[in-house]
Structure 1
């Protein structure tokens, strides 16, 4: 995503995350592991594992500081994460840095910077 973002542009990622509270965290995992796959199967009976992949995917996806570190390692700056809906989702935002102009093009030439 950073490759196609203009310098100074922002990257926003809205992703499922794991609630940190003990009670909500347990309820969330129970819903994700037991109820959501059944709902998916009811909605898409022809799909062999409808929504069965989602719990494993969410549990393996980096969240919190790990996600912010990954964004920074990929070149984004001013990275932040805002938990939403009691921590069930998080909005991550980072900015692609503005690079200083250099080379012949920056000096009025036609070269590649």
Structure 2
């Protein structure tokens, strides 16, 4: 299976990410025109990990997204359900406690993390509400969640240009830099199908999180959502 379908069967999504693991970080940098690094920095600032805190980094892939939390002195657990991604991450970051796990059935006890974060991964989970409830379960009372996800540009003319880039320009570019360009066709389609900023905030509230809020990055191409556990 080289490409996942939009019904997000877990085995299809995992197989797709297994296939792109080796060049995943490089491809993201190219396709985002260098913005991916800025988005990761924004996530690190929003999580605001402190020394001694426990941070769960979901959809961590090769572990690149976990490094800022480690540098801040937090104990970070990178978790992903793609074994291919985790194997690649172990080669690059052998000291990280990379953990296999499904976001809808997390292998952690209740209330053990001060912060849970997921970047560009919630969109690929089959049961979004189930994942949001699981994140709530493993977070301590008063803890926080930070979600970084592709969203909907707020300026209408730019939204049109962006949509054209996703469906026309992204696949050819992916062909030149990725080991599996079909995976990036799925990427484009899944971004277009994803709920906008207010609807994702409403899903957080429905799952039990309090004070959901968001901040747009790159004109709404990406939105950074944050909420707290009661």
TM-score norm. by structure 1 comes to 0.79
Change (3 A) 1:48 1:91: closer
Over alpha carbons, which structure has the higher Rg? 1
Cα shift at 1:31: 0.8
Q: Deviations over 1:12-53 (max 9, x none)?
A: 001111112121011100111111111111112x42503101
In structure 2, the partner of 1:102 is: none
In structure 2, the partner of 1:110 is: none
Unaligned runs of 5+ in 2: 1-134
In structure 2, the partner of 1:8 is: 142
Q: Deviations over 1:70-100 (max 9, x none)?
A: 0000000010011111111100001011xxx
Contact 2:142 2:229 in 1 (8 A): yes
Change (3 A) 1:52 1:25: same
In structure 2, the partner of 1:52 is: 185
Q: How does 1:68-107 map to 2 (within 5 A)?
A: 68-97=201-230
SS of structure 1 residue aligned to 2:196: coil
Change (3 A) 1:64 1:48: closer
Q: Comparing both chains, which one has the higher relative contact order based on Cα–Cα distances under 8 Å and sequence gaps of 6 or more?
A: 1
Equivalenced residues, count:
96
Contact 2:174 2:181 in 1 (8 A): no
SS of structure 2 residue aligned to 1:65: helix
Q: Which of 181, 192, 197 is 1:64 aligned to?
A: 197
CA distance in 2, matches of 1:5, 1:88: 28
Q: Which of 174, 187, 196 is 1:40 aligned to?
A: 174
Contact 1:41 1:47 in 2 (8 A): yes
Moved over 3 A (4+): none
| Higher helix proportion (structure 1 or 2) | 2
TM-score norm. by structure 2 comes to 0.40
Unaligned runs of 5+ in 1: 98-113
